[in-house]
A and B are shown apart, each in its own frame.
Chain A
């Protein structure tokens, strides 16, 4: 057997299920979020199948409601939110900082078990009859009208929230206290900066949805009336509390993907990021300003017009740091020696699709236009450009970039490029028609639609089929590479950063001794020499 690494250091189920190694815990998360990704994808596929024809011929309206609810709940809470932080962040943050592990390894393992427990609750709700409130659990529908599995599903979300909180807590303490000597804040990789901002949202936002869900449960079970108009409660309060978390949660999904893209762009343009500190601080700015925009989800729900105006302006402002990142990535690529390996293809895909998603977000921040497209497929297309075109592109890009380090094996690059292309084409074919059909007035969350929308819906369903092929392919060739792939060298891409200076796969303690960092982690050609003049 070759040298001892984290994969072969200990065998058997117990060595995985009781591990306190952040790298093994990351793989536990990888396995479980992949399961949830395909469960959520199955619900999505059934939705698209129903929408192939204008008539409601595959399922009843009630079942359709359950499909999009379960799709949303599973994808948001059990895939997108944990995806990059719990897998790639867990694996690489300690390594990037020169640490042997996260600050609290036992809490890290507990947070995975909490995640699984929350997942079991939610799947129980799905299998025992489903939930039909939409992933937002809006009151009074979720408290007074909906079927009885709301509490089970909501408790699943409540429980898994503690997994997020503990992950965020672990990252913050690790970044503050576990940096190797010489690893100053402004030598940290941008991936770490974006996770710092994400962790702030984890710890500040997640407890608010936890208490909100608890109050919904109290209303259903104990007949308290915090959100019930009949008892003097106010359902809009629920929407405020819900979006106070759930809008920042969008930044939980996108910020880590931005961190991944910052790393990939530098590695494959062979050039330092243009404006390191701007990119670093824009992550914090997104995290902080992102807490003050939630009201743009409530423009038409009875919020005062003055509140609407303030939330509208703030929503425009939060786009600025995102734009800074996009411009800085572009400036980094400009006159770099770009090579188009598969991670870079995903990074390109991310920048383009995120820009479309972000710009359409500005349409929605404008109150007049938002009233026109509110609750239409335009919204659905917008947030899928962010969550799928942005977050999942970033996740797949990161998986391709770091897979050789994680597994110690190289995947077939030609297949990976092909899959990246399939994902890009399939994604746009799925969601671009939804912008059009939404703008034309097709509302979301109905299982039937007027026949004139059928062409666009058929395109969308076709795209979803292509997209699903693009998502299955990486799973196939990643699995293949574990058994048949060529061994990966320590630094297959010629990239910079501490993670590329240790063997692939890394040893259990990452570093034989705590490293002393003497330079910033970005040691490519400096942008100021070959960049814009």
Chain B
């Protein structure tokens, strides 16, 4: 049996997939549609599932996007492990650790914002958690600005001005090329995330989210958690590999 589907009893007669009107469970609603239901969806459940699946698929593309950079990191660190450790040693682990904590806490406030919308909490509560998330995200970016400024003053930005006092100048320049590409793209994702949060906050303020409709908050939350997880990988790979360098 090569066909994985049922055969029509009388093949060749048109209209096997007759478009039924009567008896269609997706027609003739007993209750009015939710105002947020788009015309091409049958019900709110289908709409919510489509949106969350869409974000998950998008996050898969994001993994592949950062994956190219992780591949480059893997290759060059494999070629010069000592050079990467030496270069990493010049990053400020304290700032990095603070930022890691900031982001983890922001994931918590994000999750609480989703929970608030899901349980039809008052708009003030929803907006409160969203604003807390944005403040923490901005704090992360503020620390990043301090760190970047430090790199500029110490000639650690790759290019003609790059200066390296250590043993492995080429590997260090490669390390800092990757550092700026990886953290730069991560910071760009944070900025986009804060932009999304602003829109979501405005919607929450206008009482748009409750137990029947909170998909936008959930989808924005998925994105936010993803950006956090990228940092969870960046922090050890960039900051911690050189922590003990030169200490032996």
Contact = CB atoms under 8 A, between A and B. Distances in A.
Interface of A: 98-105, 107, 165, 168-170, 172-173, 176-178, 181, 184, 186-187, 203-208, 210-212, 214-215, 218, 222-226, 231-234, 237, 240-241, 272-278, 280, 491, 494, 496, 498, 501-502, 509, 511-528
Given A226-B178, A498-B17, A173 B2 contact: no
A237 B3 contact: no
Given A224-B158, A513-B26, A515-B17, A210 B65 contact: yes
Contact of A187 (B5, B11, B42): B5
Contacts of B39: 100-101, 509
B71 interface: yes
A165 B3 CA distance: 32
A527 to B, nearest CB: 6
Contact of B174 (A102, A103, A225): A225
Interface stretch (B51-59, B111-119, B234-242): B51-59
Given A173-B53, A205-B64, A509-B39, A526 B158 contact: no
Nearest to A508: B39
B40 A100 contact: yes
Interface string B1-40: 1111111100110111111110011110000000000111
A276 B3 contact: yes
B180 interface: yes
A203 B60 contact: yes
Interface of B: 1-8, 11-12, 14-21, 24-27, 38-40, 42, 46, 49-50, 53-54, 57-58, 60-62, 64-69, 71-72, 75-76, 80, 158-160, 170-171, 173-174, 177-178, 180-181, 185
Contacts, number: 196
Given A211-B65, A241-B68, A512-B19, A173 B57 contact: yes
Contacts of B14: 491, 494, 501
A526 B20 contact: no
Contact of A215 (B17, B61, B72): B72
Nearest to A328: B2
B58 A232 contact: no
Given A232-B171, A491-B14, A514-B24, A203 B61 contact: yes
Contact of A520 (B6, B57, B65, B160): B6
Contacts of B24: 181, 513-514, 516
Given A101-B40, A237-B75, A528-B1, 4 more contacts: A207-B62, A274-B2, A509-B39, A520-B7
